[in-house]
Amino acid sequence: MRIVLLGAPGSGKGTQAGLLLEQLGLTHISTGALLRNAVKAGSELGLRAKAILDRGELVSDRVMLGLIEERLQGDDVAGGFILDGYPRNLAQAASLETLLEKLGKPIDVAIQIDVDSELVIRRIAKRAKEEDRSDDTEKTVRKRMKVYQEQTAPVAGYYAERGLLTRVLGDGNKDEVLQRILSVISVGSSSGLQPD
């Protein structure tokens, strides 16, 4: 099973990815972790990414896609993966689709975790307090939500057009949300999904 996990900042993507890994035995592919690991390992792409980050710039889509391609060559992804944090815009979604087709590992399902924006802001404010994170002020969260709505939210439509999108209500505790996700994933089937 190959899953793209979508949702606004604070929607619970990271939490649900962790729970799904336990339930389904998949590999978690996080673009943030990919970047950190590549830089630490000193790989060719890692060195390119480090130079970009050292200049205070965002890593290009091309470099990120290269890191994802490199990661998808690992033996541990043969049983499937959860992609979290990517794609973040329509261009990335199209490039990812092309790459996965080339590798013979197309996405089975894109799961959108839908959460009311005011609930997201409350969740992030609570996380900021618990984890002493100064970057999670209400002002920065609202700005991130605006960027998400403008750039990342359309990715759900991209997958909906391809018949791959399933929406799951993200309200409630983490186990309730997990059960909603599992209810739309048929673990033993060949397609592994029940689109909405």
**Does residue 47 lie within any of the structural domains?**
no
pTM for this one? 0.81
| 8 contacts: CB under 8 Å, gap ≥ 6 | 115, 117, 120, 145, 148, 152, 153
Report how far residue 142's alpha carbon sits from residue 8's, in angstroms, rounded to the nearest whole number.
11
**pLDDT higher than 70, residue 134:** no
* Range of the structural domain that residue 123 is part of: 2-29+80-183
**Does residue 56 lie within any of the structural domains?**
no
**Does residue 154 lie within any of the structural domains?**
yes
**Does residue 117 lie within any of the structural domains?**
yes
**Residue 107 in 3-state DSSP?**
coil
**pLDDT higher than 50, residue 189:** no
**Cβ atoms 13, 7 nearer than 8 A:** yes
**pLDDT classification of 53: cutoffs 50, 70, 90:** confident
Report how far residue 78's alpha carbon sits from residue 177's, in angstroms, rounded to the nearest whole number.
26
Report how far residue 112's alpha carbon sits from residue 99's, in angstroms, rounded to the nearest whole number.
21
**Cβ atoms 127, 14 nearer than 8 A:** no
Nearest of 119, 130, 157 to residue 8 by alpha carbon: 119
The CATH code of the domain that includes 14 is 3.40.50.300
DSSP 86: -
**Does residue 15 lie within any of the structural domains?**
yes
Residue positions annotated with a catalytic role: 13, 88, 127, 133, 144
User: Parallel, antiparallel, or unpaired: how do β-strands 2-7 and 27-30 relate?
Assistant: unpaired
> Alpha carbon 170 to chain centroid distance?
15
**Does residue 163 lie within any of the structural domains?**
yes
**Does residue 88 lie within any of the structural domains?**
yes
Domain count, the chain: 1
Q: What are the b/e assignments for 117-129, b being 16+ CB within 10 Å?
A: beebbebbeeebe
The predicted-structure confidence for 112-122, as pLDDT tens digits, reads as follows: 999 988 887 77
